Amino acid sequence: MKGGRSRARGRRATAGAVLAGLIPLAGCLALPGSARAALTLTPTEIVLSTPGATVTVQRDPFALSFSTGTGRAVLSETGAGTVVPKLVPASIDPLPPGTEPARSGELYAPLSFLVGTATVQQYNGLVWGGNLLSGLQAGVEYSAREVTGVARDGSGVSLTVATTDPTGRTLHLSIAPDGSGLLQVAVTPDPATGVAMMSDAFSSPPGEAFYGFGGRHNALNQRGQALQSFVEEENVAGISSAPLGSPATVLFPNGPSAAYYPQAEFFSSAGYGFLLAQPELAFFRMDSDTPNAWSVATEAPSLRYVVAPGRAPTAIADLTRRSGRQPVPPRWALGPMLDRLVKNVGESRSNYQSELEQDMTNIVRYRLPLTAYRIEGWGFPGSGNDGLSLPTFVSAPVQARIIARLRALHIHPLAYLRPWITPGSAPDRAGYTVKNAQGRTYVTTSTAGTPIALLDFTNPAAVRWWKGQIDKVLNLGFDGFMSDFGEEILADMHFHDGETGLSMHNRYPVLYQEANRQAVNAYMRAHPGRRIWFFNRAGYSGTPGSAAYEGGNFPGDETTNWGQASGLASLTPDMLNRAVDGAFGYGTDIGGYYDITTPPTTKALFLRWAEWAALSPIFRLHGAGLTGTHTPWSFDAQTVRVYDALSRLHERAVPLILALWREGDRTGIPPTRPLWLQFPGDAAAAAQEQEWMLGPHVLVAPVVSEGATARSVVFPPGCWEDPVSHRRVRGPLTRTVTAPLTALPYFFSCGTDPFRLPRTRRRRR
């Protein structure tokens, strides 16, 4: 092997020497296999260009810069030629209980790497199982110095780059086009031994805004923020760092930007998109240490990223084509839903079955508009769920009767799945679960403290078994399921494909949803009359990420309060941040779920939450862990009337949502759009974090403040009409509008009726 690597390095060096001989000619070479890509060499630069994007490599001192196909510069590395090696004394990152610390003296340099150590500590099971607790970094940071070798590499270019490491360590850098609008960069050190982290740093112009990063609650623009890119669960307000029920933007334990659904993917107002295309723990520092530079670092001896030069619509189209877009759902999946959850305390089989029966009665009694109903406590008849660790609270005869009644009402039944396996059960004994270093089943604990193992989605036999379980669920008459959890992977877990939890923690939910999608697609091919849909909680980015497979998302266990940390006001930034990254199908738990640290949901909170959801993609009644399922008849007659009206408003919007989703499937532009995307250049619109556009003609401005009967609305340029009162305003302006508890503020572009699409655009369910 050593000889093979040496010969390979020799071949690269020879190829580099051949190209180096062409430098005085300043040649332009069409690359084999890519007639649309060209490589230009000069004594000072190496330029790889496509019709949509160009990367320029400055030879000495080394620096990368990216521009659009028209030559407009959008992104360039910072610190070239000015950096010396930097000692990194032992430092704690993240800080317990798991938050990203402020830093100073960062090494902002092209393609830097830490020779030393980088470790992580995680919560081992229970409520925050898998989340970051702490970590340690120490060593010396080095960076790229100059290009010493150039070779053609298929449709791209391969470079050898000398570094500031006195041992002579070099970097192998590969740059290649991926379509006309994307450029892929991959870096590995040679030798890789001892390299614990790699990073890159880029210049940032004044006022640059950074949008995306997945389901973050804290803001739309992440300028000034330090972000961890790590799938985490149960970060809520009202614990330790904030008073009970506080509207503070604090999340415990992992800080204000923690997310069940992070994406290492963003779009810049400077005119580019960026995707970190690897799953290891990553840190983004977005002008948080210095006002003129941002950096990305990953705890791995490699760095892979994709740059999409272009304004937001172009960059979103190019990047989400690679990272994935949630596929168009069946029409019924966009209608009103009701989840009969299993309460955390006091639930029994008799009680749960009684609640199912009561729901069937009340759905008919109140004529509740409904297209789907989820039975969380479902079960396989007499099989103990075949090793699946699930909350089984319904007998087979009752379940069959409820499914039949739902189908008679044209309501689609949904089930509940999670990748937890009962230790010692048949699938565990068959070797389908994640292992420890000794090759034995890795047993951790659930959020409730019960022992669980995790299904290994890198094991083909385990995936086949999982798909078989999905087939059984669908054969019972269910038309889909909630795909819960996926956040619990620990660093010392071992997987069938040889990986450990260090690289699998973020990748696991991607594999989980990929297996679900494969099972669902295969089932629909075998059953042409069935339209199956599922939705999930945890997800991550990639090439592609989980968005390529999911049907939709629920945002995780929101607290039953009004705050932006994890309550009602958290929903808008969460939905919009993940939408631009390809996750279109956002469906909140109406009324909130996590009533353990916050008071039970009130009528006012329930109605405002339902109003918020009415013009979002997925309209779904859920409930709280202690209180149980929220239903309109849980409150009073007025609540029933208002909820009915909101359900019917959502139903009127469904054809538009479906049309916009189909458009997003083609273009990457989401159905729900932040104002910064729909109205570029409008500073007031860009700053608005509690409004969104449903397509180009519907402005939605829900009330998210407790006790408010009015709110300030930023009206973008153009004429806007209230479809109820028919009052008009002309933007851009900011105006206070009245909003009693029973009213959702929303507006149409004057002269349009977006909920009445042309007949040719309507489709059957």
Q: What is the average per-residue pLDDT within 5-33?
A: 41
- Written as one string, the DSSP assignment of 38-102 is EEEE-SSEEEEE-SSEEEEEETTTTEEEEEETT--EEEEBS-TT----EEEEEEESSBTTTBPPP
Q: What is the average per-residue pLDDT within 70-93?
A: 94
* Residue 234 near residue 128, CB atoms below 8 Å: yes
The pLDDT, as a whole number, for residue 705 is 95
Query: If pLDDT is split at 50, 70 and 90, which confidence band does 383 have?
Result: low
Q: What is the average per-residue pLDDT within 312-338?
A: 98
Examine the pLDDT at 32 and tell me if it is beyond 90.
no
Examine the pLDDT at 678 and tell me if it is beyond 60.
yes
Find out whether the peptide bond into 717 is cis, omega within 30 degrees of 0: no
The pLDDT, as a whole number, for residue 250 is 77
Contacts of 307 (CB under 8 A, 6+ apart): 53, 55, 66, 75, 182, 183, 185, 272, 273, 274
Q: Which amino acid is at 616?
A: S
The CATH class given to the 676-761 domain equals: mainly beta
Contacts of 350 (CB under 8 A, 6+ apart): none
The pLDDT, as a whole number, for residue 180 is 79
Helix (H) and strand (E) counts for the chain?
A: 12, 38
The pLDDT, as a whole number, for residue 23 is 38
Q: What is the mean pLDDT of the chain?
A: 92
Count the neighbouring beta carbons within 10 Å of the beta carbon of residue 344: 16
Examine the pLDDT at 17 and tell me if it is beyond 60.
no
Q: Which amino acid is at 567?
A: G
Examine the pLDDT at 765 and tell me if it is beyond 60.
no
CA distance 151 to 31: 11
Q: Which token pair is 30? A: 């069409």
Backbone angles phi, psi at 9, to 5 degrees: -65, -35
The pLDDT, as a whole number, for residue 83 is 86
Fold designation for 370-542: TIM Barrel (3.20.20)
CATH architecture of the region 2-321 = Sandwich (2.60)
Per-domain residue ranges of the chain: 2-321, 370-542, 676-761
- Do 2-321 and 676-761 agree at the fold level? yes
Buried b (16+ CB within 10 A) or exposed e, 189-201: bbeeebbbbbbbb
Examine the pLDDT at 200 and tell me if it is beyond 60.
yes
Query: If pLDDT is split at 50, 70 and 90, which confidence band does 597 have?
Result: confident
The pLDDT, as a whole number, for residue 237 is 82
pTM of the model: 0.94
Q: What is the average per-residue pLDDT within 277-283?
A: 98
Helical spans, DSSP H, in 536-636: 571-579, 603-614
The pLDDT, as a whole number, for residue 249 is 54
pLDDT tens by residue, 530-560: 999 999 999 999 999 999 999 999 999 999 9
